């Protein structure tokens, strides 16, 4: 068979062996809990301040956030506000300057 198949089969056989050795009891499972805070809301002044702090033009910030330049203009004028992934990326830019290289 293929190398991938062999790796999957070996992993499954190992799991079955572990289960049989423990009779299905006392198997430990690690649970990782991650608390994610709601995305921060940004005012028009916040967006402009973050953009200027990072020495970005509206066009470059728009490319970074995968939005149009018109969207950045609307955010900075207060006609609209960022949401979702844009807020998360703005949080990153606000916490520390990120080197943005444009192609």
Per-residue pLDDT of the chain (103 residues; tens, 9 = 90+): 688 888 888 888 888 887 777 665 555 677 889 898 998 999 999 999 999 999 999 999 999 999 999 999 999 999 999 999 999 999 999 988 676 666 6
Tell me how far apart the alpha carbons of residues 87 and 74 are, in angstroms, rounded to a whole number: 15
Residue 101 lies in a domain: no
Residue 80 lies in a domain: yes
Q: What CATH number is associated with residue 88?
A: 1.10.260.40
Full residue range of the structural domain in which residue 80 is found: 44-95
Residue 11 lies in a domain: no
Count of positions (residues) in the chain? 103
For the chain, how many structural domains are there in total? 1
Residue 26 lies in a domain: no
Residue 89 lies in a domain: yes
Residue 52 lies in a domain: yes
Tell me how far apart the alpha carbons of residues 35 and 31 are, in angstroms, rounded to a whole number: 13
Question: pTM of the prediction?
Answer: 0.64
Residue 59 lies in a domain: yes
């Amino acid at each position: 068979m293929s190398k991938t198949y062999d790796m999957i089969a070996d992993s499954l056989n190992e799991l079955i062996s572990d289960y049989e050795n423990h009779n299905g009891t006392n198997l430990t499972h690690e649970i990782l809990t991650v608390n994610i805070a709601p995305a921060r809301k940004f005012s028009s002044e916040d967006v402009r301040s973050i953009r200027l702090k990072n020495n970005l033009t509206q066009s470059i910030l728009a490319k970074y956030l995968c939005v149009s330049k018109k969207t950045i203009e609307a955010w900075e004028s207060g006609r609209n506000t960022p949401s979702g992934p844009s807020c998360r990326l703005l949080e990153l830019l606000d916490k520390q300057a990120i080197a943005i290289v444009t192609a």
